[in-house]
């Protein structure tokens, strides 16, 4: 959408060098593992010589992009898509978790001209980690709202989609399903532990292949209830997609939605919320309608408007 607004965009990433564009945008791809991107300062600096501004993201592009921008005396903007901090303890051993948390703080505390967070909740965590308020901004991601229809007759199913790992709350979903054997659950996910998770799931959980685009949109549209007990989320795009599809939402995410906000480990609250909505279809339809109205605020047009405002302010101050 930046190109549609007249912005010339150059993309440097990792991958197959034979792939020279994505969705019409020219790309340069380095045939290296993503972690080695941290050493790509010379390549980034060469590409940044004739640009007005460098946009980068956490994790592995952040530090080399900052160095490359400074070498070229260019402004640099960091977008923080993930920020886990204390939640690394749920994903790594204590020693490794501490190293990851310190690495995050090192990345986001460099002298970027602006650090963009995807939610107020994420910005608060970033400020606690040392990002100055005056250098921060909040720009939430968008969705293709029109792609999410609402089924007139939704299926009686509780839906979950996401990576099948502890951080996303899949094990809590399975435990809720075990306690509510009369409720139908549908899981559309992916991950290294998928087979093990499938084998451990109770019989009232249906697994369907994960597919982006129309199959995912249809899965949201068919569902009355969306359960997403993620343990660490800077934003949470899946709940917004569920809202756009008219679902009642049960989740831990920190932005406004109609449904029930639960704690990441509060299985009892999740069970009670699912039982309540399962037994009251009319209520889920009412909440789903309100959620769809809320989801209209998350569009890519609004995202780009705010992003261009940040770029303009930075360039005008140079």
- Rounded mean pLDDT of the chain? 94
Shared domain for 160 and 50, answered yes or no, is no
Shared domain for 304 and 288, answered yes or no, is no
- At 43, which CATH number? 3.40.50.2000
Shared domain for 248 and 189, answered yes or no, is yes
Shared domain for 31 and 68, answered yes or no, is yes
**Predicted confidence (pLDDT) at residue 184 exceeds the cutoff of 90:** yes
Shared domain for 166 and 254, answered yes or no, is yes
Instruction: Convert the pLDDT of each residue in 128-169 to its tens digit.
Output: 999 999 999 999 999 999 999 887 789 999 999 999 999 899
Residue 23: pLDDT band (50, 70, 90) is confident
Residue 281: pLDDT band (50, 70, 90) is very high
Least confident of 3-7, 133-137, 202-206, 299-303: 3-7
Q: At what angle do helices 214-222 and 237-244 cross, to 10 degrees?
A: 70
Stretch 38-50: mean pLDDT = 95
Return the pLDDT at 130.
Answer: 94
ω into 193 cis (within 30 of 0): no
Shared domain for 122 and 159, answered yes or no, is no
Shared domain for 37 and 51, answered yes or no, is yes
Return the pLDDT at 270.
Answer: 98
Angle, alpha carbons 126-88-251 (nearest 5°): 75
Q: What is the DSSP string of 65-121?
A: HHHHHHHTT--EEEEES---GGGGGGTS-HHHHHHHHHHHHHHHTS--SEEEESSHH
CA distances for 106 relative to 46, 161, 198, angstroms: 24, 32, 38
Domain holding 66, by residue range, is 3-142+299-316
Shared domain for 90 and 172, answered yes or no, is no
Residue 4: pLDDT band (50, 70, 90) is confident
Shared domain for 194 and 291, answered yes or no, is yes
Shared domain for 70 and 212, answered yes or no, is no
Parallel/antiparallel/unpaired status of strands 185-190 and 54-57: unpaired
**Predicted confidence (pLDDT) at residue 91 exceeds the cutoff of 80:** no
Residue 236: pLDDT band (50, 70, 90) is confident
Number of domains observed in the structure of the chain: 2
Shared domain for 56 and 165, answered yes or no, is no
Shared domain for 36 and 172, answered yes or no, is no
Are 266 and 260 within 8 A, CB to CB?
A: no
Stretch 254-270: mean pLDDT = 95
Rg (alpha carbons) of the chain, rounded to whole number: 21
Stretch 222-243: mean pLDDT = 93
Return the pLDDT at 289.
Answer: 96
Least confident of 49-63, 81-95, 171-185, 199-213: 81-95
Return the pLDDT at 16.
Answer: 95
């Amino acid at each position: 959408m930046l190109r549609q607004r007249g912005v010339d965009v150059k993309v440097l990433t990792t991958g197959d060098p034979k792939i020279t564009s994505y969705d019409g945008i020219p790309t340069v791809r380095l045939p290296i593992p993503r972690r080695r991107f941290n050493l790509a300062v010379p390549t980034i600096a060469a590409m940044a010589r004739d640009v007005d501004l460098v946009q980068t993201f956490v994790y592995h592009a952040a530090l080399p992009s900052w160095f490359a921008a400074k070498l070229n005396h260019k402004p640099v903007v960091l977008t923080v898509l993930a920020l886990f901090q204390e939640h690394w303890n749920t994903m790594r051993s204590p020693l490794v978790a501490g190293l990851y948390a310190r690495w995050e703080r090192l990345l986001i505390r460099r002298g970027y001209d602006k650090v963009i967070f995807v939610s107020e909740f994420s910005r608060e965590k970033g400020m606690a980690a040392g990002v100055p308020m005056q250098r921060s901004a909040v720009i939430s991601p968008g969705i293709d709202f029109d792609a999410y229809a609402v089924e007139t007759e939704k299926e009686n199913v509780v839906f979950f989609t996401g990576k099948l790992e502890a951080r996303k709350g899949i094990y809590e979903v399975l435990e809720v399903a075990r306690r509510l054997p009369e409720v139908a659950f549908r899981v559309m996910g992916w991950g290294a532990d998928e087979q093990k998770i499938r084998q451990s799931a109770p019989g009232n959980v249906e697994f369907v292949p994960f597919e982006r685009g129309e199959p995912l949109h249809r899965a949201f549209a068919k569902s009355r209830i969306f359960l997403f007990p993620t343990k660490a989320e800077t934003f949470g795009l899946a709940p917004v997609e569920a809202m756009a599809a008219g679902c009642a939402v049960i989740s831990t995410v920190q932005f406004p939605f109609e449904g029930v906000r639960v704690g990441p480990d509060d299985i009892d609250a999740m069970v009670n919320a699912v039982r309540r909505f399962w037994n009251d279809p009319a209520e889920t339809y009412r909440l789903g309608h309100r959620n769809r109205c809320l989801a209209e605020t998350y569009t890519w047009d609004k995202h780009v408007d705010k992003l261009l405002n940040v770029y303009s302010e930075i360039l005008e101050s140079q």
